[in-house]
Each structure stands twice: as C-alpha cells, then as structure tokens.
Structure 1
C-alpha cells in the first residue's frame, strides 16, 4: 500500500506534532489528546515515539483532559464482559506508588467473596512494581478465564472472578513493552482502574497520589458509577500508597448519591495497630503469593490488619455491612464492626475455602493471560 492511501504516515506525522507541543509543555486540547491516544491504542505509534510521549507526560504532569481522552480510547476498544451481578464490586489500585508492598486488593477480593459479596477483580501484571495482581494469581494457580461464558461460570460458582487486563484490553499490547521498559508509573496506571470490562458501578480504587482522587471519582461518576471510594494513604516522607493504610491518614474522595465528599481516615481510631509501610513490604510474585496464602491460613500481623481495614471500607462501598459515614465523617464504631466481620471469616477458614475452591475451578481452556 502506498503512502497516499495508507493512513499510518499521516497519523505518525500528526502524533509528532502533538509530541512537539507536549515537549514544549503546552496543554493538549481534547482533540489533540484524543488523536494521540487513539493512535497509541491502534498501534500507529512506534516504541521510540511512545516512550518519548509517556515520559514527557510523566515529567510535565498529566492533565485531566489527557486522562479523559485515554479512558475514552481504552473503553472504546475493550472487550466488555456483560451480565455480571448488578451489585458486583471491584477493588483495585493504580500501582505506581513505588513502594513494592504485598498485594492487598487481591487478598481483599477473596475475603469479600467469603462474605458473599460478588467481586469482579480487574488487575494486571506488574509494570511499574514487582508483583501485580495477575502475577500473584498465576503463582497461586488461580484461573483467569478469558471468554464470557467461563467468566460467568466462575462468578456463579464462587462469587468472584478475575479479569486480567491484557485479556480485555487488547489495545494495551501496543504499550505494554514500553511501560515495562520505562519502569515508572505512566498515565496508564490511572486509566486501568477506570476501565473495568464488566462495567461495575461500585469500586474501592487506590490511587498513588491524592492529587488524582477527585479526578478518579469524577470520571467514574460520569461513567455511571453508584458508589466509589478513591483512596490514597499517606506513609510518611511525602509518600502515598494506593490502599487504605495503617501507616498514616488515608485521603478519600467518596462518591455516594451522586455527590463527592472529602474524607480522611485515621488508622489510630480503627482499633488496629498502626504500622509503618515497611511492615507489609513485598517481593517477587512467589513471595507475595505465599504471604497471601499464609494470610488465608490464619497468619497475623500488619498484612492481615491492612487487608481487614480495606475489606471494612469495601463492605461499605458494596452496600454491605455497616455504613461507615455519619455526620460528614468516618463512623469508627461502624468501621470497627466491619473489621470484626472480616476477621471472623478469616478466623473460621472461609477465606481459605474460597481460595482453594477457586484454584480447583477449571474452564475448558488452559489458564492463560495474553499480552
């Protein structure tokens, strides 16, 4: 095909102009941002140009316009999973906090399932950390069904299913290698949690910086979400983790009833022992998988307590357990009640039973992750 009929050269030329504007630290218009992310998702941008673009965005700081354009481009190309329970919840984080902790939200998914809360957990391999949700699940030999009938069967059988991002966002194959090569968080860390393929309307979403909490909650409200808590936990020295934390106050934007309110959660009032972020330091996927299994088997400590705290919040987001907002702030008595509920299912082995049952689930095709 010659260049007069091939759209690729024209798109590449347009992308270079957009990149030049970005390098000049100019704001990208909605049209420019839309064209840039459309070209990226269609594979029309080479790795060198893509690396330059993502690096320039990271150094300048991503804008709301650019995030919205990336989300629209990704959602337009994703493989959706219709028909999931209307009250299903997702618990996930952006990653990109650079802290390398144990996998909290993956453990939370198993505890919620043991409590009878339907969970559609969206996750990915590690791209800017050592161990992502998908990495840990593969280590645990938890199946990651690809097609919709098997995803439904897993949900029907166990009340939880796991969606590997690369199976449902094929356009991301065009950026995965560059993201891994760069090794730092990019705008796609923010995009992933905003694009659950099942279209869940209830989410506990962790964010690597409080700066993005309002944007995340607002974007999900515009997408039709009912209840969202976007959280970013302070861990000292200007660092933040994409979870509710015991290391310091957690900053929150809570979307409820169509309104977004600002909250803060004090770990000292939860009844759990405060702990530095180093107490839940993680490692390889195998290391993190062992920790998750030991947690399900009854191990005590900061990892268990962090998971319990996140489950307590997720129960509220899911519309289960006690409502933990009262008078414009956190109702810590109700929060402690939810923590006790979560601890009980761990203590009686229900979480381990879910983990073992899920591991034995087998679809008619091999457990695999594309990309």
Structure 2
C-alpha cells in the first residue's frame, strides 16, 4: 500500500494495520498528501473498526518523528491526560505538575487548549501568567533551572495543521485524542497519563512500552475521569522496566478521604486559575486531595518514592512549604523573559 486510498479501503474492510503500515499511513496524512475527505475517511474507518495497539504505535511514531523537540534532562516526566472525559473538573494534572516539581521531580508538561472542557492546560496556565509562546531556549532554561516547563502542543506539532481542520469538522473522537500524551516534545521516558475510557488503560501502556518508555502509569478514574479519582476506584496499568501490571487503588490507600466529583467541578480558565493558586497557596479542600493523590502516583513514576501513602505525604509537603507555588511563579518568570519571534 503506497497511497492513502489503499489504506482507507484496507481498514474499511475490517483489516488492522501493522505498526509499520500505520506509520506510513500517518506520514501521508501529516505531510499533506491526503485530502480532507481522505483524512476523515481514514480516521473514521479506524474508529469504527477499533484502533489497535500497533496502529496507535505507528501513528505515535509518525507524529513524534515530525515534532519540534527540546532537550529535557534525564529522568524528566510528563503529567498529562487525553482529555475528552467531559467532566469539567478543575485542572488536576496541571496543578500536579507543579506539586511534583516542588517535590524535586523535573516535569516537562505537555498540553493544549480545551477541546471538551472549559479550561485545558494552556487555558489555565495562560490565565496564571505563563507565557504560552516561549521559545525553545526559554523552555529549556526553565526546565533546567526551575525544574518545570510547559510545552504548548501547537508550537511543537506543526504537522497537525494538515489534519486539525478535519478533526474539528468531524467533532468526534479519533485516534488523535490518544496521540497527544504519546508525543511529548521532550521525549520523556517517564509519565503518568490519564485516559478518558477504561478500555484504553492497558493498550496505552503497551504503546508506551513500544515507543521506548522506561516507567509509566496509565490511569482512569471512577466516574469516567482521565486522572486518578478522589471519589472512588481508579484503574492503573503500570509499565516498569518492560513489564506491565494492572491494579486498582482507592484514595484511602494514599491516606486521603473520598470526596464526590461535584466538589472538584471547575469553570472557565479564570475560575480554575484562581482555584489552583489558592490550592497551591495552602487551601485545603477536595481539589487539594485530588492533586495530592495524582501527585503521589506521579512521584512513584518519577522514582522519588515507591509507596503511594509516602508519595501523598511528600506532595502535601510540597504544597505546604510553598515549593509548588514557587515553581508556578518561577515558570511565569522564565516564560515571559523571551517569547517566540
């Protein structure tokens, strides 16, 4: 198969692609060699058939090969979610990035503007004064000296311009909803990633293994959250040194009380930014507990602890000492020194 028409016909007939075939097909999509109708036809053929681990792996390799990269220190981690859970919660993974950085991890946070919620990572960080168009030098400096940086997806994935308009017109989930968390410009090999559906937990761990990750947690929380849930059960697939194991946790395992999801529902970027600054400033509420829980998992992925309850203690100290808030303010300073030309 050498053209997109043959790939569309093959997948539409119910056949699955190898990783190599998928990479070739996505190379065609992301270099502008497919029309909008062909992009839509191929993406929806995959969706209806059901995307496989090999197909996601090939697509991720294609996307990663075309992204602008930065130099991230060894051991850097990403804390992100697929989005798409449509719950409208406060920005948990974004706040988690600062808490984990305050505890000593190096965090290259990859993210974008909201697609299905009112406030994505870029939205809330912009409201908090983070420069979203900081150039590569400024981002690398922030990562090296402040221990945290934000990688705004549009600046690093210019090839997405060939498929972005079609995705918007489709208005429904495609494989690209899964690819963002697999395509960190810092090429981190450690990450905790939330997914919008439980059925994607283990498959994405398998993809992360295939693209060379060292350690990862892929998580899905009760009530459909793309993060660890403070309201109940969470499902985790852990990748560690090439091995994958599946397990479940509840907040009590981290020494935390449960809270209903209604207590962490957010609003627009300004609302969520205010809530994040208050929480990082020491305000104790369900939002703090949700961030502490997710930070505990992230600290395990970062190798700073191997115990969830200890991770929660470390995360709480990062907040209460002011270290987490200092990382936020430091990132604002670094990213407003220079911006892209």
TM-score normalized by structure 2? 0.91
Distance 2:182 2:158 in 1: 16
Distance 2:165 2:258 in 1: 38
- 1:71 alignment partner in structure 2: 60
Q: What is the CA-CA distance between 1:55 and the residue it aligns to?
A: 3.3
Report 1 or 2 for greater relative contact order, CA contacts < 8 Å, sequence distance ≥ 6. 2
SS of the aligned residue for 1:361 comes to helix
- 1:80 alignment partner in structure 2: 69
Which residue of 26, 29, 36 corresponds with 1:40? Answer: 29
1:52–1:363 Cα change, 3 Å: same
Q: Which has the larger radius of gyration?
A: 1
1:183–1:292 Cα change, 3 Å: farther
Q: What is the CA-CA distance between 1:120 and the residue it aligns to?
A: 0.7
Q: What is the CA-CA distance between 1:339 and the residue it aligns to?
A: 1.1
Q: List gaps (5 residues or longer) in structure 2.
A: none
Which residue of 344, 348, 366 corresponds with 2:321? Answer: 348
SS of the aligned residue for 1:262 comes to strand
Which residue of 209, 232, 238 corresponds with 2:197? Answer: 209
Distance 1:227 1:340 in 2: 22
| Total equivalences in the alignment | 341
Tell whether 2:148 aligns with 1:160.
Answer: yes
Distance 2:36 2:180 in 1: 20
Tell whether 2:158 aligns with 1:170.
Answer: yes
Q: List gaps (5 residues or longer) in structure 1.
A: 1-9, 325-334
1:56–1:294 Cα change, 3 Å: farther
Check whether the contact 1:226–1:255 (CA below 8 A) recurs between aligned residues. yes
User: Equivalent residues in 2 for 1:134-283 (5 A)?
Assistant: 134-144=122-132, 146-235=134-223, 240-283=224-267
SS of the aligned residue for 2:115 comes to coil
Runs of 4+ in 1 over 6 A off after TM superposition: none
1:228–1:160 Cα change, 3 Å: same
Aligned-CA RMSD value: 2.3
1:179–1:99 Cα change, 3 Å: farther
- 1:6 alignment partner in structure 2: none
SS of the aligned residue for 1:50 comes to helix
- 2:120 alignment partner in structure 1: 132
Query: Once the two structures are superposed, what CA deviation does each residue of 1:39-72 show, in whole Å capped at 9, x if it has no partner?
Result: 1111222333323433343333222232122112
- 1:300 alignment partner in structure 2: 284
Q: What is the CA-CA distance between 1:281 and the residue it aligns to?
A: 1.6
Q: What is the CA-CA distance between 1:78 and the residue it aligns to?
A: 1.1
Q: What is the CA-CA distance between 1:121 and the residue it aligns to?
A: 0.7
Distance 1:283 1:180 in 2: 22
Query: Once the two structures are superposed, what CA deviation does each residue of 1:163-199 show, in whole Å capped at 9, x if it has no partner?
Result: 1111111111222233333333321121111111111
User: Equivalent residues in 2 for 1:16-55 (5 A)?
Assistant: 16-30=5-19, 32-55=21-44
Check whether the contact 1:30–1:65 (CA below 8 A) recurs between aligned residues. yes
SS of the aligned residue for 1:247 comes to coil
Check whether the contact 1:128–1:179 (CA below 8 A) recurs between aligned residues. no
Check whether the contact 2:130–2:335 (CA below 8 A) recurs between aligned residues. no
Check whether the contact 2:16–2:55 (CA below 8 A) recurs between aligned residues. no
Q: What is the CA-CA distance between 1:367 and the residue it aligns to?
A: 6.5
Check whether the contact 1:96–1:184 (CA below 8 A) recurs between aligned residues. no
Tell whether 2:312 aligns with 1:339.
Answer: yes
Distance 1:258 1:66 in 2: 20
Distance 1:195 1:187 in 2: 13
Q: What is the CA-CA distance between 1:255 and the residue it aligns to?
A: 1.3
